[in-house]
Amino acid sequence: MPRCVHVTVVIKRLGEHRSDVHGCWGPQTHIATWQEQEISNAVWAMATLSRPDEGLLETMARDAMRRGMSAFVPQAISNLVWGFAVLEYNNNPFMLVFPSPPPL
């Protein structure tokens, strides 16, 4: 299986907003085989490209919780939190761990 996560990062860095990025995701996507950085990169890339896939986001959020915070380096946690927030995908198991900031 190709590592599409890296493709999305490269596409972003090249500034190409291509619609075929979604071809990387699908029912055959096995998040359990991905490294933690690949999961956080995928969420980051979807947020950066403004191309969310709710099913995949849900799967990644649940898998991140299954693995536990200690499995992720701080940068990966930051990418996940930022990506979910940008995509306004806040009502998921991963984001519910973090308290909401007080209103300004």
Mean pLDDT, each 10-residue run in order, the chain (104 residues): 50 46 54 87 88 85 89 92 89 73 65
The pLDDT score that the predictor gives to residue 100 is: 65
The pLDDT score that the predictor gives to residue 90 is: 79
- Angle 69-59-9 from CA coordinates, rounded to 5°: 80
Helices in 34-73 by DSSP H: which ranges?
A: 36-49, 54-67
